[in-house]
């Protein structure tokens, strides 16, 4: 593995992690502000966390 490959892999991981944090924050904020009662907020937060994990694993490559 050359130095260029290491730099490229590190850059992809950093950008992927920043994108993962952004998706997580947005997907958690939506149910908190959209719903008034606790049950939809709780369900929305669970869905947001599962969606963020899916994005992190499938689209970004974080494992």
Domain boundaries, the chain: 3-60
Helix 3-34 / helix 38-54 crossing angle, nearest 10 deg: 170
What pLDDT tens digit does each residue of the chain (63 aa) get?
Answer: 788 888 988 888 888 788 888 888 888 888 878 778 888 888 888 888 888 788 777 766 655
**Cα–Cα dist 63/50, whole Å:** 14
pLDDT at 62: 55
**Cα–Cα dist 40/49, whole Å:** 14
């Amino acid at each position: 593995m050359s130095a260029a490959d290491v730099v490229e892999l590190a850059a992809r991981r950093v950008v992927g992690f920043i994108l993962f944090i952004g998706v997580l924050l947005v997907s958690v904020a939506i149910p908190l502000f959209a719903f008034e009662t606790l049950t939809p907020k709780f369900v929305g937060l669970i869905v947001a966390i599962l969606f963020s994990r899916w994005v992190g694993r499938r689209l970004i490559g974080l494992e």
